[in-house]
Structure formats: C-alpha cells, structure tokens
Amino acid sequence: MARDDVMGWLAGAALAPLTGLTSALRHSRTFHPSGITCIAEACDVATNPLAREVAQRLAGPVLVRWSSAWWKRGEHPDVLGCALRFTRGPIGVEPQPGDQDLLLATVQRPWTTAFAPLTTRQQDFLGNTYFGVSPFDVPPLGRIEWRLSTPGAAYGGLDRPRRLARAIEADAARVTLEWCPYPGPLVRPRAAAFEPLLELSIARVVELDQRRLRFDPFRSGRGINPVGFVHAMRRAAYWTSQVSSPG
C-alpha cells in the first residue's frame, strides 16, 4: 500500500467516529443525506483512442444522483454532489455485478473544500462544474482526474428540483464527463487540458428509496479505481456515515 493510502486510511479511521455519531444523531448520512435520482444514457464522445476504450466500457445506462453535501432541506451555502452509477440495468437501488460508481463534487482540490460553498451555485445542479477531487487509476489512461461539465441551464424563480425538471423537459439536461492526466495535488490544470469522454443525456427523474441507495466510491466494476490520500480516507469515514443511520 502506498504511503498516501496508508496516511489517508489512518485519517479516515480517526474521522470515522465523528461521521458515525453525526449520522446517528441526524438520522441520515453525514454526507449527501438526500438527493434527486435520474436515469441517463451515456454516449461515447472521446477523441483520444485510449480514452475511447474507456468510454466504450462506460457507455450505456447511468443512474445519476444529485445532492447537497450537508443540508437535508433548503438551498443554503453548500457543496453539491453528482454521483454516477454506470450499469447495464435494471436500474434500481441495488447495484449489479460489474457496476461502476463515480462520485463527483463542486470541489476541485482537497485544500479548496472550505471555500467551495462560497463558489458553488447552490440554487442549480446544472449551474456548476463537478470534479473527482483526487486522482483515479484508469487503464489504459493511467492516473487521471475527472470533471463533469454542465450546460449552466438556469430557470429563475424555481428551486433546484424544478429547475432540473425544467431542463429535462427542454432536453437541456446534458452533461459531459471529461478527463485529463492528474498533475499533482496542488496544481490547477488549464481548462483546455480536459478532454471529453462521455455525454450523458438525462432522460427523467426516477423515485428510488434514498435510505437503501448506497453509492460506493470503491465500486469499480468498469476499471475506475480511486487512489491517493483523500480516497483512502473515505473508506472508514463514509462507511461509518452510512451504517450509523438508515437514511
């Protein structure tokens, strides 16, 4: 196990009692306690031959979950999240063999987490850019990072769920999953460094049991493997957050 993984695991173990207690007290997960689930279709738009191999592994049905990080209700300063499950169906709360989960948030680097609520447009899921935060090992691309670009669709005077629904009705709920080589924890790559991999067309909102739905950053059935300090820290912290509450 790499040094970063060991340090991250130890940090996550230290944080685990706090996330578990928070989940138990609020009767829901500490992180991303509630969300809106949608069904989407992912299409290969990669231009790089190696990236096309990855895109073809991921293309097909996708379960998408939009959520806020802390608040269960209302639209307060917060970090927003977008969780993706690449699957072959049927789409439901239970994962299938070979499924791949990918968790993204409006945080580009770990050290920007404290400032992210100030730069996140909490009123609109489709008005933000989402990142994988830390690196992933994705053969044959190597160590990369992810970015999810959204259309910036905005419908004034509506709350987040209705804005998303309006965008879906207008066929404007299309997002692009992009990738670039991971340059290091403190380097912010140029926007041009990201290349398109998949276009996700969100077809409709689907009602699923949020208490039973569990996205796992380490569910890697399509070869996307989280690596590094932050991902290692997630193992214990996320696990206790989820098992300490039914919600």
> Domain tally for the chain?
1
97 in any annotated domain: yes
115 in any annotated domain: yes
- Can you give the CATH number for the domain in which 65 is found? 2.40.180.10
Of 36, 37, 34, 54, the closest CA to residue 45 belongs to: 54
Look-up of token digits 């949020």:
210
| pLDDT at residue 232 is higher than 90 | no
Task: Taking residues 30-42, report their average pLDDT.
Answer: 80
At 170, is the secondary structure helix, strand, or coil? coil
3-state secondary structure 23-86: HHHHCCCCCCCCEEEEEEEEEECCCCHHHHHHHHHHCEEEEEEEEECCCCCCCCCCCEEEEEEE
Distance in angstroms (rounded) separating the CA atoms of residues 66 and 64: 7
236 in any annotated domain: no
| pLDDT at residue 48 is higher than 80 | yes
Q: How confident is the model at residue 12 (pLDDT cuts 50, 70, 90)?
A: very low
Give pLDDT, residue 96. Answer: 94
238 in any annotated domain: no
User: What is the pTM for the complete model shown?
Assistant: 0.80
Give pLDDT, residue 41. Answer: 98
27 in any annotated domain: no
| pLDDT at residue 210 is higher than 90 | no
For 107-117, write each residue's pLDDT tens digit: 988 778 888 88
Give pLDDT, residue 59. Answer: 98
Range with the largest mean pLDDT of 7-11, 133-137, 190-194, 229-233: 133-137
**What mean pLDDT, rounded, does the chain reach?**
81
Look-up of token digits 């989940």:
23
Domain that holds residue 168: 36-226
| pLDDT at residue 11 is higher than 60 | no
Give pLDDT, residue 111. Answer: 79
For 172-181, write each residue's pLDDT tens digit: 999 999 999 9
